[in-house]
Structure 1
Amino acid sequence: MNDILNLTGVTKGYNHGKPNEVQVLRGIDLTIGAGEVVALVAPSGAGKSTLLHIAGLLDTPDNGTVSIAGEDVTGLPDRRRTAIRRADVGFVYQFHHLLPEFTALENIVLPQLANGVPQREAETRAKDLLARVGVADRASHRPSALSGGQQQRVAFCRALANGPRLLLADEPTGNLDTVTSDQVFDALMELVRATGMSALIATHNLELAARMDRTVRLDAGLVTPAVPA
């Protein structure tokens, strides 16, 4: 199994040299294989968002290396990192962050246009993604006219619009009630499995974590395999 994400010896701290210096990540080693879906479980404030941002090239580590699909991306110029992030990484957050002035369809089309995809091709892919998560009939609606679950489904589609190899999700169902959370998570997993991408999904929900391929725990700045209850 080829590795899609590999973090080796990754450290990250803030306020270096100051009395309130904080070391968030203390030497992260984490590998995710092709097509593997990994749950990241962490207590509040453990640094999971920092870890996801480094994995997704939104931040840089103080030490260590980050590789995506076998390429060491740690020290690449910003322009190259941006190109890799745009093509190979999809992000989903706890809040949908959809652009309010655009329709559901347009929110999925826009990142494709930014990546050089022709308009008609981008619209076709957006419609297909919306159909896969069961909200094709909401394509012309703006986010304010969608329910919370529908908004998050559209956010999933936007994250997958450019066909990334790696999906990074930070509490993607954290704002939803239990029933809606289960339904939306099912939709996300169906998308991920259908495309064969890899995913690192941070969640507090141990039942959702158990439905992924494996679970790792982030605590005290280190990642360790989760111990079954």
Structure 2
Amino acid sequence: MSETVLRLEGLTKTYNSGRPNEVQVLRGSDLELRAGETVALVAPSGAGKSTLLHMAGLLDTPDRGRVEIGGADMAGRGDRARTAARRRDVGFVYQFHHLLPEFTAVENVVLPQLANGTSPAEAEARAMELLGRVGVAERAGHRPAALSGGEQQRVAFCRALANAPRLLLADEPTGNLDPETSDRVFAALMGLVADTGLSALIATHNHDLAARMDRVVHLDAGRITPAA
């Protein structure tokens, strides 16, 4: 049996607790992600997908519940330990690329590696390898403003995988692209995931893209349920 990379148990989250405008976003959500598995998280806007991903990636904490990454319980860990685990084990991709505009494509992929202690030569070699895998190596010296939307997002994928995480979390990673570009960019992402063997939890509205993953789950009324 493959290793469990991510386990969420009984996650609850309420915003504005005790106030008239209280919003209970998560109501005991459970999810398990195995090594090498790709899972689509499907839900309408406002259902709590981003909240769930932020908790899975240690950017936010639940009111109650448990988050495990690689079998390690993250509850009660201080900011420094959570930051170290996030940097080492988790890669993030968002709907908008959030590339640093003053740096080139390759520099955007190099920087997180330098922050993780990788040597400049090794970081650049890995960055060029990743950019080559998604077909944008020839654009490595261009800044984000000179790249198309699809190219920018592919660079963002490479940046997320620069430190070889075991878990990729993606929040509508192709939601800002036209259908044709979305399909091409998603194929590049799935190719990266397959090549590196990491696990991926990908939130999407696109049911066609979701069907291309190993498993589909829904977030409904604050709880995760398997696809029918």
Partner of 1:13 in structure 2? 14
Partner of 2:131 in structure 1? 130
Counterpart AA for 1:4:
V
| Pairing 1:169–2:165 present | no
SS of match in other structure, 2:5 = strand
Single out whichever of 136-145 and 16-25 deviates more from structure 2. 16-25
SS of match in other structure, 1:90 = strand
Report the TM-score when normalising by structure 2: 0.99
Superposition RMSD in Å: 0.4
Partner of 1:120 in structure 2? 121
Partner of 1:102 in structure 2? 103
C-alpha displacement of 1:224: 0.0
State the Cα deviation string for residues 83-128 of structure 1 (Å, max 9, x = none). Answer: 0000100000000000000000000000000000000000000000
C-alpha displacement of 1:2: 1.0
Whole-angstrom distance in 2 between the partners of 1:139 and 1:87: 24
* 1:125-204 paired onto structure 2 within 5 Å: 125-204=126-205
Counterpart AA for 1:42:
A
State the Cα deviation string for residues 147-181 of structure 1 (Å, max 9, x = none). Answer: 00000000000000000000000000001111111
| Pairing 1:215–2:210 present | no
Q: Which runs of 4+ in 1 moved over 4 A?
A: none
* 1:43-82 paired onto structure 2 within 5 Å: 43-82=44-83
C-alpha displacement of 1:16: 1.1
Identity %: 74
State the Cα deviation string for residues 200-227 of structure 1 (Å, max 9, x = none). Answer: 0000000000000000000100000011
SS of match in other structure, 1:20 = coil
Counterpart AA for 2:142:
H
Partner of 1:4 in structure 2? 5
Whole-angstrom distance in 1 between the partners of 2:56 and 2:124: 29
SS of match in other structure, 2:14 = strand
Whole-angstrom distance in 2 between the partners of 1:22 and 1:88: 30
Counterpart AA for 2:49:
K
Whole-angstrom distance in 2 between the partners of 1:211 and 1:17: 41
Structure 2 runs not aligned, ≥5 long: none
Single out whichever of 16-25 and 97-106 deviates more from structure 2. 16-25
C-alpha displacement of 1:74: 1.8
State the Cα deviation string for residues 22-81 of structure 1 (Å, max 9, x = none). Answer: 110000110000000000000110000000000000000000100000000121111000
Counterpart AA for 1:101:
E
Whole-angstrom distance in 2 between the partners of 1:177 and 1:15: 36
Report the TM-score when normalising by structure 1: 0.99
Whole-angstrom distance in 2 between the partners of 1:223 and 1:198: 18
Whole-angstrom distance in 2 between the partners of 1:112 and 1:141: 19
Counterpart AA for 2:113:
Q
C-alpha displacement of 1:19: 1.1
Whole-angstrom distance in 2 between the partners of 1:54 and 1:104: 28
